[in-house]
Structure 1
């Protein structure tokens, strides 16, 4: 039947070295056996050493991509990546409300993996007030959870409190991803669901610089599994296992901060 195959959408920027952003999302959709599409919002010129230049796409072109996809395909889930300006967030929110693209996974890209803030104040406010309330699930990292809540996360109790505070912003389900502290052998991700249930997802810490695209991969896996009709709790567990596998079996690409290995998850049989 037409459009019977699971189709999933990333709303993100292009990372030309393929390690993160739209490319990492599409890698993930492919290995999770879904058909991936994209609404391109920006383009980055960068490599394993860092980002050298970036350009946002015109807002009317971003909106047009939503329009043409909705006219033809049956997208069953979507996710966002970095949306760098308030106007872009407002455009995406309006276009998403007008489309029927299923549940939305919001990866609130606010900081770098080292905690440097990427968004200006106006865009940060729009993300909190307009985009997050649309989310079926939000997947902030440790640093982003602190910025979204104003809390300082020192331990697992603080991590749980931050997740509940983000849920209070209007997000049904929240995953606050953990942070590796010196001497810590395990990393803890905390999940709180719309029904009030909760769980901790635990994995070993891997000492590697090949971690580009981990957040993208985690959120993209959730979107892919939702597009296949899987229950949310099951999709989050799959996303955790897929991402950990991709980190644990690194591939040598680039001289410095490299990509994770999306192929590794295919050995999990999940």
Structure 2
């Protein structure tokens, strides 16, 4: 099984239509079974789609699918390439004051169950601190997609959000927790350490073959107080148990695949 997590930074990137095509071409080559995407956006003033494709499920009662939605574009391109993925999109909050910003899964296998988990104390769509997790289940297990807050946020700290998440998912098995954690692996006694101490195994540390794991190589929003950044590992795939991981690597880094976002992706191969 191959699984990929990627913060797309969608619609904020230049040349987005070209990058969407490049992403789908990469999926055709990489052939992941599960893809977790963060910052999956649509402009909240874009025209509403009259008919939602049967391959896309939207997990929100009041947010409609709009014409420039990132996964809608991906769905169209995937079908043109003959690729079959079920897609779930969950808008979480208003991003940059203009986007319906959310989380998405692409799954090659049928999605059996879908759930959103509120991680922040408040559920205010207009507040950028609002955080949720998107959980799906396939025959391969339970997959949870997150875009976490920051450790030092006074109002919505990472620590509290992760406790809420862990309480909601700790009984699931097999479980894979993936996404943008906004938690640098080398910082002691903060977010990364909390996840590991809670019993989750980082597939990067389990992998037999790996690169340096860097998923952000420059200053980005949320980390602008760290001007000396040379590289951070803040995007992860965790498992509730130790797994056999022949290899893991970053993706969309300008090497095997083009750079498509302000993050690199993380791609892992697991075997029984």
Quick check: TM above 0.5? no
Normalised to the residue count of structure 2, the TM-score between the two structures is: 0.38
Normalised to the residue count of structure 1, the TM-score between the two structures is: 0.38
Larger strand proportion, structure 1 or 2?
Answer: 2
Larger helix proportion, structure 1 or 2?
Answer: 1
